[in-house]
Amino acid sequence: MVLLAFLTTLSDALFLVQAVMPLLAAALLCRQGAAPATAPRRAALLLFAPALLAMVSYRFVVAHPTRFPARLGFKNLSANLDEFGKILVALFGPRPLLAAVLLLALLAGLACTVACLRRKALFDLPRPLQQLLVFATLSCAATVVVMLLSTSVQPAPRYLITALSSLLVSGVFALAWLAGPRLRFALPGLALVFAGLLAADAWRVRDQRATDTYFYPEQVACIDRALAASGARHGIAQYWDAKRVQGLSRRDLTIAQYTGTLTPMEWITSQRFYGAGYDFAIIADQEAAEFRLPRAPLTALNGEPLQSVACGDRSVLLFGPGRLRIPPALQESASHQAAR
* Banded pLDDT at 103 (limits 50, 70, 90): very high
246 Cβ neighbours under 8 A, 6+ residues apart: 253, 254, 255
| pLDDT > 80? residue 303 | yes
Mean pLDDT score, 42-65: 86
Alpha helices, DSSP H only, in 12-160? Answer: 14-15, 21-29, 38-61, 77-92, 96-117, 127-149
More confident residue, 214 or 105: 105
Q: Where are the domains of the chain?
A: 2-64+91-179, 218-339
pLDDT, residue 86, reads 94
pLDDT, residue 147, reads 93
| pLDDT > 90? residue 289 | no
Residues 137, 141, 143: CA angle, nearest 5 degrees: 115
Q: What is the mean pLDDT of the chain?
A: 86
Residue in 290, 282, 337, 340 with CA at minimum distance from that of residue 315 = 282
Q: How far apart are CA 69 and CA 67, in angstroms?
A: 6
The percent of residues in the chain predicted with pLDDT above 70, rounded, is 92
Residue in 91, 110, 94 with CA at minimum distance from that of residue 170 = 110
pLDDT, residue 339, reads 45
pTM of the model: 0.72
Residues 251, 239, 245: CA angle, nearest 5 degrees: 20
Burial class (CB in 10 A: 0-12, 13-18, 19+), 325: middle
| pLDDT > 50? residue 61 | yes
Strand order in the sheet with 254-257: 254-257, 234-237, 280-283, 314-318, 307-311
Q: How far apart are CA 234 and CA 251, in angstroms?
A: 11
Beta strand spans in the chain (E): 234-237, 254-257, 280-283, 307-311, 314-318
| pLDDT > 70? residue 333 | no
Residue in 280, 298, 268 with CA at minimum distance from that of residue 237 = 280
pLDDT, residue 336, reads 45
* Banded pLDDT at 36 (limits 50, 70, 90): low
58 φ/ψ angles, rounded to the nearest 5 degrees: -55, -50
| pLDDT > 80? residue 150 | yes
Residues 338, 244, 278: CA angle, nearest 5 degrees: 50
Least confident residue range of 119-123, 128-132, 136-140, 229-233? 119-123
Report yes or no: 230 and 307 within 8 Å, Cβ to Cβ: yes
| pLDDT > 60? residue 32 | no
| pLDDT > 50? residue 179 | yes
Q: How far apart are CA 49 and CA 5, in angstroms?
A: 9
pLDDT, residue 177, reads 83
pLDDT, residue 38, reads 72
Measured between its terminal Cα atoms, the distance across the chain in Å is 34
Q: How far apart are CA 316 and CA 255, in angstroms?
A: 13
pLDDT, residue 77, reads 93
Q: How far apart are CA 105 and CA 54, in angstroms?
A: 32
Report yes or no: 84 and 148 within 8 Å, Cβ to Cβ: yes
Q: What is the pLDDT of residues 237-285, one digit of tens each?
A: 999 999 999 999 999 999 999 998 999 998 888 889 999 899 999 999 8
Q: How far apart are CA 222 and CA 72, in angstroms?
A: 45
| pLDDT > 70? residue 331 | no
Q: How far apart are CA 195 and CA 182, in angstroms?
A: 22
Report yes or no: 10 and 53 within 8 Å, Cβ to Cβ: no
Mean pLDDT score, 327-335: 56
